[in-house]
Amino acid sequence: MIDVVLRGVHALIAVLRVVAGALLAASVLVNFANVIGRYFFGYSIYWAEEMMLFLMVGCVFLGNGVVAWSGRQIRMDVVVGKLPDKLRRGLDVFSDLVFIAATLTIMAWAWPVIVNLYEFDERSQSANIPIYIPQGLIPVGLAIMALLAAVRLVTGSGRAPTAGPAAPSGPVGPGH
C-alpha cells in the first residue's frame, strides 16, 4: 500500500516539476516577447506584466509541492541540526505538524475568497483573466504541500537530510 502511495507521490512530483517549469518558461517567453516588441518594434504587450505575475504565482505555488516533499522549505534549523538525532526527529515531526496545520488554515481562509472571486466574475485589468484562476492556485498549491508533507510524515520518505557539513545539496532519493 505504501509503495502505491509513494509511486503516486513520485508521479505527482514529476508532474509538478514539469508544470512549474513550463509556467516559468512561459513567463520568460512572454517577457522576451515584450522586450523584443518594445525595443525593436516600439510596441509593448500591454498585458505582459500581469500575465508574467500570474504565471509566477502558478510556478511558485505548484512548485512548492516539490519543496514540501523534500522538507526543504525555509526554516530556522541551525540549532536543530546540532541536536541529538532523537530530539531532532521529534522537532522535525512537530515542525511538519505545524506546517500542515498552517497550510490547511491558510487554505481554509483563502477558499471563500476564491469562491467570491468566481461568483463576482472578477477579472484582471489588462489580460482580462478571471482572477479566481491565479488566486485559486494558492490554496491548490497549499493543499498539495500539506498532502505531500503529511505523506512524507506518515511514510518517513522524501525528507532531505538536515543541513550540515555532510548533507548533500541536490535532490534526495529515487524519483526525488
Q: pLDDT (tens digit, 9 = 90+) per residue, 114-164?
A: 999 999 999 999 999 999 999 999 999 999 999 998 998 888 776 665 544
Q: pLDDT (tens digit, 9 = 90+) per residue, 148-157?
A: 989 988 887 7
CB 47 within 8 A of CB 69: no
Q: pLDDT (tens digit, 9 = 90+) per residue, 64-78?
A: 988 888 877 777 777
C-alpha cell at 65: 509541492
Can you tell me whether residue 130 is helix, strand or coil? strand
What does pTM read for this prediction?
Answer: 0.77
Find where cell 511514510 sits. 155
C-alpha cell at 140: 491548490
Q: Is the pLDDT of residue 165 over 50?
A: no
